[in-house]
A and B are shown apart, each in its own frame.
Chain A
Amino acid sequence: MPKVIRASRTTEQHTRVNDASAVLKRFYVAERQLMRITGGWFVKTSQWDLKFQLAVDQWQAVEHADALRTRVLELRYPRRDVDKKYDADVMAFMAEVAKAANVREFIAGVYEVLLPALVEAYQDYLQRADALDDSPTVYRLGHIVGDEQRQIGMMHGLINRVMPDRAASVDVWCDYLRRYLDSVGGLSGLGEKSDRPNDFADRPEFQVPRQTVRDERFKPMLFHLPHENKYDKAGQQAWKRIEALDKRVAMQVWSAISHFNEIWAAEVPASVMYELTNEPWDFYLDLSRWMWDEARHSMMGYRAIQGWGWDAPTLIPYGNALYNALGHMPAAQRLALLYYFEEGLLRSGLKQTEIKILESAGDEGSTQDMDYDWADEAIHVSFGFKWLRHLLGDDTAGQAELKRLTDEARAVLAEFVRLHQDDDAAKLAPFFDRLYDLIAAMTYEIPDDGLDIQWAPVVADEEVLQEL
């Protein structure tokens, strides 16, 4: 007869390595899909505060997904399978979450059903996990739980402030998603399974919008600064009045408006990573970061505008042309144009010029914002370089295709500007005239530091954009 001594301890169910990797793979898939659909709904959402919150939460989702994916691979899970064979139930549930009828439903579905379910599933895992044997998972999940509890709390406060009215349909939607999730055994897949509800079977799959709409508190505008629209001579003259006050003042205002409008540069990678479904994991990791960085830059501008006490919706042009003019183009082409802009601006040395002028203005906040923006943009160029070569080919043909796509996109954008040159939404002079009065009243003298930098933004940027 075999002989043993008693077990030194007992363990919970489903805690062996293969069980753990299977469950964590489901969690990874859920977070991965959460990142993608939140990015897609970020594009679709116009309300500024909600849009910004979705941006940060989608980036945290990709960080969570990356941590979980890393851990799955540490648990003898085959590398060749980690980004394949996604659990069909999890994928189906996440697709349902994305099918919300409007942003209010989407936010309720994510923050009242999905994220609480993820937190519950993670806490269940943590309760069963052996903190010594499975320590790396325990560490990572503990942080993810903290993040997601904070996300739920933040969005709860925000949605009640900006969209206090809650239609009955939102409760119907949440109830449906809960029943759907129950039917697939929960996010861990360890629960009982049953027939899936099909209350909303006739709803179409979510598609990332090719046209964005800006926050309704703002006046609809196509452009935000005069270099975008060379036909807007009145806007350029109005801007030059601001420049004439002092180049330091002009740079302070320019950088804030420019940063705020970088939201289009967040929308492009968000839409690209939603549309392209089968790229390497690092593609999503990089584009998600790119998206969040650009949303941060947008908030930098918004924060500066608020810091001056200005009412952004009435004073600041908030355009959508850069996203919408390219909306019909393939994902790689939209990414190519964004890369073209970012690489061109870095190679022109404009960031250094801008920072020097802001330093001369003594505007510590705007200087620091620009400094971090500069660091971020340097990363983005490396992302664009790497992934456009991946998408188009790392050879002569690939380079030719990148140039063709970029040239075509620039021509389409130039034609968009030409076609819309007389639209009311293309006329910036009223904004700059209103701003001029405010700015002139706020200016004060400082000692002359001998700043000797030429900065003519309209000309400088047109050189970068090559007369679009």
Chain B
Amino acid sequence: MYRIRLVKLGKEFDAEPDEVILDAAERNGIILTHSCRSGTCRACITHVISGCIEHDPDYVDDLSIDRGEIAAGYRLLCSALACSDEELER
């Protein structure tokens, strides 16, 4: 279980290692901005301040996010899984 902290909102929640971050937030009663739930509309794009968060490898080629954005620490929360405790710019 990983601890996810939303810095701007001042909220925290837990996520299972194989759980999509957006789903984990909703399971904890936190509704984050989203639309497609498939990583294509970019509504949930978020900067990772610290920690490990990776896109689901099964869909990584179908996501609407640039390599440069990924390198800069951005992730699509509807298609991303936590791999450590983390802080998100939300």
Binding site for B on A (CB under 8 A): 343, 346-349, 351-352, 374-375, 377-379, 381-382, 385-386, 394, 396, 399
Contacts and interface: CB of A to CB of B under 8 A. Distances in A.
Nearest to A342: B41
Interface in B6-25: none
B44 to A, nearest CB: 8
A378 B64 CA distance: 11
Contacts of B68: 396, 399
Given A382-B64, A399-B66, A347 B45 contact: yes
Contacts of A343: 41-42
Nearest to A383: B40
Contact of B40 (A385, A394, A396, A399): A385
A377 B35 contact: yes
A20 B81 CA distance: 49
29 contacts: A346-B33, A346-B41, A346-B42, A346-B43, A347-B33, A347-B43, A347-B45, A348-B33, A349-B33, A351-B35, A352-B33, A374-B35, A377-B35, A378-B36, A379-B36, A379-B41, A381-B35, A381-B36, A381-B40, A381-B43, A381-B64, A382-B36, A382-B64, A385-B42, A386-B64, A394-B66, A396-B68, A399-B66, A399-B68
Q: Which 8 A-B pairs have the closest CB atoms?
A: A349-B33, A378-B41, A382-B40, A378-B35, A378-B36, A346-B43, A385-B64, A381-B41
A271 B57 CA distance: 37
Main secondary structure of the interface of B (DSSP, over half): loop
A183 to B, nearest CB: 47
A349 B42 contact: no
A370 to B, nearest CB: 12
Contacts of B35: 346, 351, 374-375, 377-378, 381
Nearest to B39: A382
A377 B41 CA distance: 8
Interface in B67-84: 68
B31 interface: yes
A347 B66 CA distance: 16
Contacts of B33: 346-349, 352
A375 B37 CA distance: 10
A349 B43 contact: yes
A395 B32 CA distance: 29
